[in-house]
Amino acid sequence: MQTPLLKAQQAQEILRKVYGYEQFRLQQAEIVEHIISGGDALVLMPTGGGKSLCYQIPALVNEGVGIVVSPLIALMEDQVAALKQAGIRAAFLNSTLSVEEVRGVEDRLRQGELDLLYVAPERLMMPSTLNLLERLQLVLFAIDEAHCVSQWGHDFRPEYIQLSVLHERFPQVPRLALTATADAPTRKEIVERLALEDARIFVNGFDRPNIRYRISEDQGNTREQLLRFILNEHENEAGIVYCLSRKRVDDIAEWLSNKGLSALPYHAGLPAELRKQHQTRFLNEDGVIIVATIAFGMGIDKPDVRFVVHLNLPKSIEAYYQETGRAGRDGLPADAWMVYGLRDVITLRQMQETSQAGEMHKRVERQKLDAMLGLCELTSCRRQILLRYFDEHLDEPCGNCDICLQPPETWDATVVAQKALSCVHRTGQRFGVAYLVDVLLGKTNQRITQFGHDRISTFGIGDELDKNEWGGVFRQLIARGLLTVDAEGYGGLHLSELSRPVLRGEQQLMLRKLVKPQRKKPRSRAGKNMSGVSDDPLWDALRDCRNTLAKQQGVPAYVIFHDASLMEMLERRPQTLEQLARIAGVGERKLEQYGKAFLDVIQEYPDSGVISVTDTAAESLRLIREGKTIAEIAVKRDLKETTIYGHLATAIEAGDIPLNDVLGLEENTLAEIRFAFEHNEETGRLKPIYEALNEEYSYGILRCVQAAMKAG
């Protein structure tokens, strides 16, 4: 029997060796220890926070198999693939497996050959599965996406309700429920339905500081706004664009494709085969954009989604938070960008009014929509509003949302609002926005004349604003609840109680100004800028290398290494396996399998950023001046020859030593190499030159010659 302390050390060791990470994040360490010592837990952690480790590591520390309940089959396969890459014994059971495959997994379970088993809830609940589990040594049950038990939530899954059985049948086995979305009522529901009354609750911050929240007003040219956004800020990067209807999904995907982007549609109306194909391309290829209805995404585990766009208003803040949360799981900068307009507000209000749900349910829905509209319309920091919804408090405005970056201007719209409201009143509270705006602008058409609205006092009193601006005013009046939308579904507007004080002139009304579309802005807060990275040729080479390896094995690229790991390679340019091992995300197994391939790539690209000679390079320089050969220096310093060449190339480029003192090449040899450099178009890449010279000269020699050419 091991002591808890020993186990905690073991967990730390696994984190380092298997996953290649130095430290636990947030409350991971506490959660792991709690589970290892037999406790139940409810873990609330934002997407990308690192929930998986909370159950994977205990399953590796303690004897037996950990059972992971996961609602989505596609996700399961990817997670198991990623675990296998790290050398962890994992498998899944779901309906995609053949009878033989299922038997294979069951055999391995009985032999104690698995550390982790992923299983769909309906599969887990089958009597045969439960019977099998009863005969095994179980470390834990992890219930992922636990908010799926909530009937109020947007991802309700009836199968999840039955999971309370686990507590009854396996009272000794620790259970942990995990979710990224849970406001207070949902939390309560999870605890009740999964019988987690004795569980310790771990609430980790909901903030996703690397996500920049931006909400723009629809200016009548959404498609162009979208295209500009992608091209300006996210060219060749992966993203998701959410639309409400299937038709809109098809339209937008086609439009983006016609503009030369890899955009693929995804919705329930497409054949399952095609959907799967699109999803696979999104996961496995670089820079694919998925245009989708909300049918896409739950359990999309792709860490390098750089942007999530909403072309419609989500129904609630939870939905918005969860959907935008699919961006930037790797912690690198990402954008959540939404365009919304008058039509969205009317549609959602209408849907709600006409909903057949009970009064209580309706009220909940209305509150959720109000909160969502508040997020869009208010003029305080988006992140503060968002977090407040999850009972979390952010003291300062975040500095990384559109409101913080470009505070909206407000204006005294009291008089304008009075005109709009009284126009609603004078026309009998049954017309929609388009009609009302026509009346305000003094347009005559057949309907207006027919109803005699060209003779009322509000006819033509609104020419201080144009049609678009009036639309913005009405949207804000509806969003703030001064106007309500009729239940009959024709879009007619009514005055609410809230409009009275404004109409009577007792309350001033400040509205936001229409924001003109803006140009690119520099990034703040989140630090690293992905678009700076993409200029470096090594970045592309590292991605190519990763893609090749991923293709060979038929797994998504990120399963080999995350972007964050590649970025670190780019920055630190490790030269040895030992140095590579220090990069986050490079565990023992991956080092063994891929280390060499990536080092080779890195060595192909001299770091042009470094000009001055660093200490270690200075030492090589000293030795060569002493008359040592490069081979001798390499042996003496226990470094690779290429590394020494690298040091010397740096010195040559800085003008600290002439090329001749390092290489002593014949004049015509040198001319030949120079010629090869001068006649190669691809700047920075050494490989084509190496090949053009029939691989006769090492990369080290080439680097030195290149350095001399740069030095002039």
Residues that bind ligand ADP in the complex, under the rule CB under 6 A: 21, 23-25, 28, 45, 47-53, 303, 329-330, 562, 584
Quote the distance between the C-alpha of residue 654 and its chain's center. Answer: 41
Closest to 606 (Cα-Cα) out of 505, 514, 690, 694:
690
Binder of residue 133, out of Zn ion, ligand ADP, none (CB less than 5 to 8 A by kind): none
Q: How far is the CB of 562 from ligand ADP (least distance, A)?
A: 5
Residue 187's binding partner among ligand ADP, Zn ion, none (Cβ under 5 to 8 angstroms by kind) is none
- The answer for 639, left when phi > 0, alpha when psi is -120 to 50, beta otherwise, is beta
Which of the listed partners (ligand ADP, Zn ion, none) does 51 bind, with a CB threshold of 5 to 8 Å by partner kind? ligand ADP
Query: CA 179 to CA 150: how far, in whole Å?
Result: 11
Q: Give the HSE-up count for residue 145: Cα atoms under 13 Å, Cβ half-sphere.
A: 23
DSSP state of 401: B
Smallest separation, CB 330 to ligand ADP (Å): 6
Decide if residue 383 touches Zn ion (CB under 5 A).
Answer: yes
Q: Is residue 385 at the binding interface for Zn ion, with CB under 5 A as the rule?
A: no
- Cα–Cα distance between 89 and 9 in angstroms, integer? 21
Nearer to ligand ADP, 302 or 480 (CB): 302
Residue 404 interacting entry, from ligand ADP, Zn ion, none, C-beta within 5 to 8 Å by type:
Zn ion
The residue (of 383 and 475) whose beta carbon lies closer to Zn ion is 383
From 145-153, 378-386, 540-548, 582-590, give the range in contact with Zn ion by CB under 5 A: 378-386
Site for Zn ion in 402-421 (CB under 5 A): 404
Helix (H) or strand (E) holding 310: strand 307-310
Angle between helices 630-637 and 641-653 (to 10 degrees): 120
- For the bound state, the minimum distance from the C-beta of residue 530 to Zn ion, rounded and expressed in Å, comes to 20
Least Å from the CB of residue 53 to ligand ADP: 5
For Zn ion, the closer CB: 398 or 473: 398
Q: Which does 278 bind (CB under 5 to 8 A by kind): ligand ADP, Zn ion, none?
A: none
47 binds, among Zn ion, ligand ADP, none (CB under 5 to 8 A by kind): ligand ADP
- Answer for the pair 301, 240: CB distance below 8 angstroms, yes or no: no
Using CB under 5 A as the binding rule, the residues of this chain from 521 to 560 that contact Zn ion are: none
CB of 569 to ligand ADP, least distance (A): 15
> Can you tell me the distance from the alpha carbon of 265 to that of 275, in angstroms, rounded to the nearest whole number?
8
Report the residue number, 449 or 524, with the smaller CB distance to Zn ion.
524
CB 499 within 8 A of CB 403: no
383 makes contact, choosing from ligand ADP, Zn ion, none, with CB < 5 to 8 Å by partner type, with Zn ion
Binding-site partner at residue 480 among Zn ion, ligand ADP, none, CB < 5 to 8 Å by type: none
Q: Is 570 helix (H, G, I), strand (E, B) or coil?
A: helix
351: tokens are: 């849907």
> If binding is defined by CB under 5 A, does position 401 make contact with Zn ion?
yes
Q: How far is the CB of 336 from Zn ion (least distance, A)?
A: 12
Nearer to ligand ADP, 45 or 676 (CB): 45
- C-alpha atoms less than 13 angstroms from C-alpha of 233 in its C-beta half-sphere: 23
In b/e form, how buried is each residue of 55-67, taking b as 16+ CB within 10 angstroms?
A: bbbbbbbbeebbb
Q: From the list Zn ion, ligand ADP, none, pick the one residue 24 interacts with, judged by a Cβ distance below 5 to 8 Å according to partner type.
A: ligand ADP
CB distance 146 to 178 below 8 Å: yes
| Number of residues binding to Zn ion, judged by CB under 5 A | 6
Q: Which residue is nearest to ligand ADP (CB)?
A: 50
Answer for the pair 499, 421: CB distance below 8 angstroms, yes or no.
yes
19 versus 337: smaller Cβ distance to ligand ADP: 19
Among 11, 68, 72, 381, the residue binding Zn ion under the rule CB under 5 A is 381
Least Cβ distance, residue 571 to Zn ion (angstroms): 28
Q: Which amino acid is residue 612, in one-letter code?
A: S
HSE toward the beta carbon, residue 396, CA cutoff 13 A: 4
Q: How far is the CB of 16 from ligand ADP (least distance, A)?
A: 10
Roughly how many angstroms between the first and final C-alpha of the chain, as a whole number? 68
Tell me which residue has tokens 């590796």. Answer: 60
Structure tokens at 544: 């190519």
Nearer to ligand ADP, 115 or 604 (CB): 115
State the Cα–Cα distance between residues 10 and 2, nearest whole angstrom: 10
- In the complex, what is the shortest distance from the CB of residue 398 to Zn ion, in angstroms, rounded to a whole number? 3
Encoded tokens for 535: 């200029």
User: With CB under 5 A as the contact rule, which of the stretches 42-50, 392-400, 509-517, 600-608 interacts with Zn ion?
Assistant: 392-400
Binding residue for Zn ion, selected from 90, 398, 566, 652, defined by CB under 5 A: 398
53 binds, among ligand ADP, Zn ion, none (CB under 5 to 8 A by kind): ligand ADP
Which is closer to ligand ADP, CB of 148 or CB of 243? 148
> 310 forms bridges with which residues in the sheet?
242, 338
Which one of ligand ADP, Zn ion, none interacts with residue 25, CB within 5 to 8 A by kind?
ligand ADP
Distance in Å, CB of 303 to Zn ion, minimum = 24
SS3 labels along 94-136:
CCCCCHHHHHHHHHHHHCCCCCEEEECHHHHCCHHHHHHHHCC
673 binds, among Zn ion, ligand ADP, none (CB under 5 to 8 A by kind): none
Distance in Å, CB of 410 to Zn ion, minimum:
16
Q: Rounded CA gap, 674 and 686, in Å?
A: 12
The tokens for 562 are 């995350």
What's the rounded Cα separation, in Å, for the pair 81 and 123?
20
Contact 556, 77 (CB under 8 A): no
Tell the smallest beta-carbon distance from residue 609 to ligand ADP (Å).
26
Between 129 and 216, name the residue whose CB sits nearer to Zn ion: 216
Binding partner of residue 302 among ligand ADP, Zn ion, none, CB under 5 to 8 Å per kind?
A: none
Query: β-strand 200-203 against 41-44: which pairing, if any?
Result: parallel
Which one of ligand ADP, Zn ion, none interacts with residue 398, CB within 5 to 8 A by kind? Zn ion
Q: Please report how close the Cβ of residue 564 comes to ligand ADP at its closest, in angstroms.
A: 7
Q: Is 211 in the site for Zn ion (CB under 5 A)?
A: no
Binding site for Zn ion (CB under 5 A): 381, 383, 397-398, 401, 404
